[in-house]
A and B are shown apart, each in its own frame.
Chain A
Amino acid sequence: MTRVGALIVFVAALAALAGPLLVGVDPAAQDLAQRLDGPSWAHWFGLDELGRDIFSRVLAGARISLIVGVVVVSVSSAAGTLVGSVAGYFGGHVDEAISRIIDILLAFPGLLLAIAVVAVLGPSLTNVVFALSLIGWVGYARLVRGQVLRAREFEFVQAARALGATTPRILIRHVIPTALPAVMVQATLGLGGAILSEASLSFLGLGVQPPTPSWGTMLNAGRTHLLDAPHLTIFPGLAIAVLVLGFNFLGDGLRDALDPATRRQAT
């Protein structure tokens, strides 16, 4: 399953990087005379309501989805790791204050807060990335805090402290690396989550705006043509499901490889 996941992610990354160039069809080119035409040899996934080639738009949409996923997960995991390690390492009032902020943010269902933030800031790709990162770091912070609380009692950490290593050095060289495997697993699974969230926001009209091709926006446009052109809905949705499935396979595989306890539980 891990290999299948890796293959799916690899193909999606390739499509995002070179897809529109390889296909040779401009995702924005319109052919109004053939609008809503179904899949054919010339247009594998058919044409949309403006006569644009859905296959090339799905490939171009992969770029948006992966960019959002990678940026959101990078920002969230870096911020969450930093905040979580500070909370776990220093403990006391610092930990108390950070933990309360985490509790408050976790009191919001994740996507709801993103909807709220995008609603006030306005729909755009940048605001989607900002909103998803704003909620994304919380999960990493909680995870890393737990790992660091354990790691700070390790003998090698205490030895580094006794040898006079500075706090940033202890955190960066000794404490944070112990949390990295767990962060890596969460980040891989989080990529799928971020892609789904971006697509959800775009579907609701709060994310990427037309004419930029995004899978969520394409699905939203397909809603009005469910009856006469279901292919507008089928292909972008399939792309989301397959890519998210790929990240889930990959994340599950990584977790099994890095944490034998969960492997025992799952089998």
Chain B
Amino acid sequence: MLRFFARRVGLTIPVLLGVATLVFSLIHLIPGDPAQAMLGESASPQDVAELRSRLGLDRPLLDQYISFLGGAVRGDLGRSLRTNEDVAGAVLARLPATAELAFAAMLTAVGFAVPLGIAAAVWRGTAIDYVATTISLLGVSIPNFWLGPLLAIVFSIQLGWLPVSGRGTWANLVLPAVSLGASLAAILARMTRATLLEELREPYVAAARARGASRARAVLRHAFRNSLIPVVTIVALQFGAVLTGTVITETIFAWPGIGRLLIQSIGFRDYPLVQGCILFIAMTYVAVNLIADLLYGFVDPRIRYD
């Protein structure tokens, strides 16, 4: 078990290094002089030279790279060009808002999709199944940047039930969470249905029924439990999509999280802050995948020996 954990953590280190390298190279992808691009065409040569020196762009590339990596390890990602705020501090200050939104979206998705997938599998080929399949196909196809405004039109503008933007109460969380969780719910419902159908064909389900277990017990206690691993896998794999989705959802609903900070920083060409946001989101994604992998090893011993 320990060997599996150590090997899996060891494999993550080159990935983290690669992610950091990519984020470091972003600033060097800027066409022309990055300092000039950040300050604009009208900036004086002195200002450009000062910024170049402040960002360390006048140093050899290897030096810049090593100091970026060192800084990233220490949690020092530089300072915002616009507000002079510490980048790591600015990102961490917005973390609770993004985490709240991401978890609410995932909870909404799981809470809606799992019962829907179970119902579609149990009553396969009936109207319930068709409705569930249609809902999940629509959920995959409807972009969250359309669903969000549509929900706002209905529930905020027409009915006046929920606030259209901002953060504070649970009411503020409903529309962003539903709009962000919809596509995950659609994928999860399809996955739950497909895996549960496979399990329902297994002889142990018929055996449970033969022993006198009710249909609900055979489905929920036996078949559903065994179909959970692929479902949990999808939840973990889709976490990246949820994280990226927060960028759009936070922009639509003026939610003060990391995603909105990223888009605002792009608008202001505040590249240290852009790098910080992207590095943080990517690292979180890698960490979540690692935790999910370690959990599979714990739940299913076969994975450890693969």
A249 to B152 CA separation, bound complex (whole angstroms): 28
Chain-A contact segment, one of B80-88, B216-224, B281-289? B281-289
- Which of the 9-residue segments A21-29, A46-54, A221-229 touches chain B? A221-229
Task: Judge if B274 is at the interface, Cβ distance under 8 Å.
Answer: yes
In the complex, are the beta carbons of A219 and B146 less than 8 A apart? yes
Partner of B247, one of A112, A230, A249: A112
B19 at the interface (CB under 8 A from A): yes
Distance to closest chain A CB from B236 (angstroms) = 13
* Across-interface contacts of A14 in B (CB, < 8 A): none
Which residue of the partner chain B has the closest CB to A243? Answer: B141
How many inter-chain contacts with C-beta < 8 Å in the A-B complex? 136
Closest B residue by C-beta to A228: B157
A222 to chain B, nearest CB (A): 7
Specify which of B18, B141, B145, B194 is in contact with A104 (CB 8 Å cutoff): B18
* B263: interface (CB < 8 Å): yes
Look across to chain B and name the residue whose beta carbon is closest to the beta carbon of A192: B141
The reply to whether the CB of A241 lies closer than 8 angstroms to some CB of chain B is yes
Of residues 196 to 211 in A, which have CB atoms within 8 Å of B's CB atoms? 196, 199-200, 203-206
Given A111-B244, A112-B278, A203-B248: A245 and B141 interface contact (C-beta under 8 Å):
yes
Judge whether A109 and B244 touch: CB under 8 Å: yes
Q: How many residues of B contact A (CB 8 A)?
A: 49
B262 CB–A CB distance under 8 Å: yes
In whole Å, how far is B11's beta carbon from the nearest beta carbon of chain A? Answer: 8
> Which B residues are closer than 8 A to A by beta carbons?
14-16, 18-19, 22-23, 26-27, 29-31, 137-138, 140-143, 145-146, 149-150, 152-153, 157, 164, 194, 197-198, 240-241, 243-244, 247-248, 251-252, 262-263, 266-267, 271, 274, 278, 281-282, 285-286, 289
Residues in chain A within 8 A of chain B (CB atoms): 100-101, 103-104, 107-113, 115-117, 119-122, 192, 196, 199-200, 203-206, 216, 219, 222-223, 226-227, 230, 233-234, 236-238, 240-242, 244-245, 248-249, 265-267
